[in-house]
């Protein structure tokens, strides 16, 4: 069963207290820029090894970091030999569509906000803010359905929440059984035999090709199960692509409790919009076969974030900005190190089925690297490996490749990290258990003690 947001927060706070790291955390602070000072860019271009030596602290350069106090706007300068960016993709820089003049939020008499701002408010503030208002949510994924369900809980069918979606996604019913079902069908080693993986051998490629009909069959079985559980077609929530595609692009999730009950009672209304929409004084004009005028008081954009731009903007140097934005998704060796940016790592940027579990594995790999236990190949080989993963992500994630999802090869990826660190990648006892039992974060919990 998935933990609630409060349980996750409690876990993080208790972890920080237990290991005594609260004193090392500077709250109410915002990093407004980082700049590498040391070797010239021409010299860095000539390097054969990462950072010039292949070591985490090998070069003579340092990072200069500007940090702003969010309470008094005071700016302080810090210096560090190594920087780890843990800013992720899904915060900070909201993705809001652009509108032609006189068709955007400026002509609307109501309020417009992004899901980031909505989720930052407390439960009590949210209730007061939404109560008695007609709300329109733009989006079709986690944030959109969560916000729509929350508004429906507050207002009921008297003031229904309208969800405007361009592409419907597959959602699993909430509950332990469905999480278990997903695990046994998609989160074990046998399931990963059914998908092509970056760097796989010829025998793996042949096996995956031969087993591809089984993957197709599993996908169709899951689709039939979900269509049996939910009246998707009736409410315009039937996706146009298969279930496995959503898994491969990290788009799969679980619906809030009783979501379809809210659709049936009319407290949530779904409008499918494959073309465009615009604002007018009283709400939204939704273009399509039949143009619709939707009167509303509040419009919430659940349209995601500009993750790559957020990472780019943190660099003061245009050269590093260009290197970050040269590829999409961002080109990273082991999904951690940029081959052409010295003494810096990214943790938590790529998306996976378990964000906490994935970040823990990357942090452990990085700790081993900082301790001198991992040797890097030359920059050319680092770029080759990173490019191989980029090609894989683009092939499996399609239009959602910017998210950098590696969810359908997470065990394969963890095996690579374990091999780098000298750990046994087979985390279960017995051949059949290793092949068919789902792999979870608990399987890697004791790595550091081995």
Of 399 and 430, the structure prediction assigns the larger pLDDT to: 430
Average pLDDT estimate for 156-161: 93
pLDDT of the residue at 276: 85
Q: Is the pLDDT of residue 167 over 90?
A: no
Q: How many residues does the chain have?
A: 450
pLDDT of the residue at 1: 57
Average pLDDT estimate for 397-417: 88
Mean of pLDDT over the chain: 90
pLDDT of the residue at 35: 96
Q: Is the pLDDT of residue 254 over 70?
A: yes
292-295 vs 283-286, strand pairing mode? antiparallel
Q: Is the pLDDT of residue 127 over 90?
A: no
In what side-by-side order are the strands of the sheet with 298-301? 111-114, 298-301, 135-138, 161-165, 268-272
Q: What is the DSSP string of 5-56?
A: HHHHHHHHHHHHHHTT-GGG---SEEEEEEEEESS-HHHHHT-SSGGGTSST
Report the chain's C-alpha Rg in angstroms: 24
Show the CA angle centred on residue 97, arms to residues 408 and 248, nearest 5°. Answer: 5
Residue 278 is inside which H or E element, if any? strand 277-280
Burial of residue 413, with CB atoms counted within 10 A of its CB: 0-12 exposed, 13-18 middle, 19 or more buried: buried
pLDDT of the residue at 64: 96
Read off the pLDDT band of 257 (50, 70, 90).
Answer: confident
Read off the pLDDT band of 166 (50, 70, 90).
Answer: confident
Closest CA to 273 of 295, 260, 291, 299: 291
- Those residues whose C-beta lies under 8 Å from the C-beta of residue 268, and which sit 6 or more positions away, are 148, 149, 152, 160, 161, 162, 163, 259, 262
- Those residues whose C-beta lies under 8 Å from the C-beta of residue 413, and which sit 6 or more positions away, are 335, 406
Q: What is the DSSP string of 380-420?
A: HHHHHHHHHHHHHHHHHHGGGGGG---GGGHHHHHHHHHHH
161-165 vs 135-138, strand pairing mode? parallel
- Cα–Cα distance measured from residue 337 to residue 343, given in angstroms and rounded to the nearest whole number: 9
pLDDT of the residue at 450: 67
Q: Dig out the tokens for 431 from the structure.
A: 């051949």
Closest CA to 365 of 399, 415, 296: 415
Find the range with the poorest average confidence among 63-77, 265-279, 360-374, 418-432. Answer: 265-279
**Contact (CB, 8 A) for 344 and 84:** yes
- Cα–Cα distance measured from residue 97 to residue 301, given in angstroms and rounded to the nearest whole number: 9
- Cα–Cα distance measured from residue 281 to residue 365, given in angstroms and rounded to the nearest whole number: 54
- Cα–Cα distance measured from residue 404 to residue 387, given in angstroms and rounded to the nearest whole number: 12
- Cα–Cα distance measured from residue 128 to residue 123, given in angstroms and rounded to the nearest whole number: 9
**Contact (CB, 8 A) for 227 and 252:** no
HSE, CB side, 13 Å, CA atoms: give it for residue 360: 15
Provide the whole-model pTM: 0.90
Q: What is the DSSP string of 76-89?
A: EEEEES-EEE---S
283-286 vs 277-280, strand pairing mode? antiparallel
pLDDT digits over 199-229, tens only?
999 999 999 999 999 999 999 999 999 999 9
């Amino acid at each position: 069963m998935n933990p609630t947001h409060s349980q996750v927060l409690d876990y993080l706070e208790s972890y920080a207290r237990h290991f005594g790291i609260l004193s090392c955390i500077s709250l109410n602070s915002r990093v407004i820029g980082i700049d590498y000072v040391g070797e010239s860019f021409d010299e860095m271009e000539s390097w054969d090894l990462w950072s010039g030596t292949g070591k985490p602290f090998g070069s003579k350069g340092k990072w200069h970091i500007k940090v702003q106090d969010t309470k008094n706007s005071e700016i302080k300068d810090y210096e560090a030999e190594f920087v780890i960016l843990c800013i992720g993709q899904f915060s900070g820089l909201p993705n809001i569509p652009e509108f032609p003049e006189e068709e955007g939020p400026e002509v609307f008499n109501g309020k417009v906000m992004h899901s980031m701002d909505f989720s930052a408010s407390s439960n009590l503030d949210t209730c007061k803010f939404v109560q008695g208002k007609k709300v329109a949510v733009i989006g079709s994924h986690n944030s959109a359905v969560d916000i729509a369900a929350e508004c429906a809980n507050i207002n009921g069918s008297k003031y229904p929440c309208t969800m405007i979606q361009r592409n419907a996604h597959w959602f699993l019913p909430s509950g332990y059984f469905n999480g278990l079902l997903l695990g046994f069908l998609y989160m074990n080693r046998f399931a990963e035999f059914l998908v092509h993986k970056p760097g796989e051998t010829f025998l793996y490629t042949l096996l995956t090709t031969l087993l591809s009909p089984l993957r197709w069959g599993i996908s169709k079985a899951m689709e039939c199960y979900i269509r049996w559980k939910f009246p998707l077609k009736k409410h315009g929530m039937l996706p146009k692509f298969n279930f496995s595609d959503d898994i491969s692009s990290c788009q799969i999730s679980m619906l809030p409790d009783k979501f379809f009950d809210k659709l049936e009672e009319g407290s949530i209304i779904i409008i499918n919009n494959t073309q465009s929409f615009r604002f007018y004084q009283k709400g939204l004009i939704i273009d399509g076969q039949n143009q619709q005028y939707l009167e509303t008081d509040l419009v919430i954009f659940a349209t995601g974030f500009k993750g790559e731009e957020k990472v780019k903007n943190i660099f003061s140097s245009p050269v590093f900005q260009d290197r970050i934005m040269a590829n999409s998704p961002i080109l990273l060796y082991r999904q951690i190190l940029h081959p052409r940016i010295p003494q810096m790592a990214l943790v938590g940027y790529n998306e996976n089925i378990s964000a906490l579990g994935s970040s823990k594995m990357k942090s452990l790999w990085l700790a081993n690297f900082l301790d001198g236990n991992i040797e890097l190949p030359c920059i050319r080989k680092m770029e080759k490996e990173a490019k191989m993963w980029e090609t894989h992500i683009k092939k499996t994630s399609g239009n959602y490749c910017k998210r950098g999802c590696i969810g359908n090869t997470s065990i394969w990826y963890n095996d690579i990290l374990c091999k780098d660190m000298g750990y046994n990648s087979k985390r279960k006892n017995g051949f059949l258990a290793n092949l068919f039992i789902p792999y979870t974060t608990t399987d890697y919990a004791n790595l550091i003690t081995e």
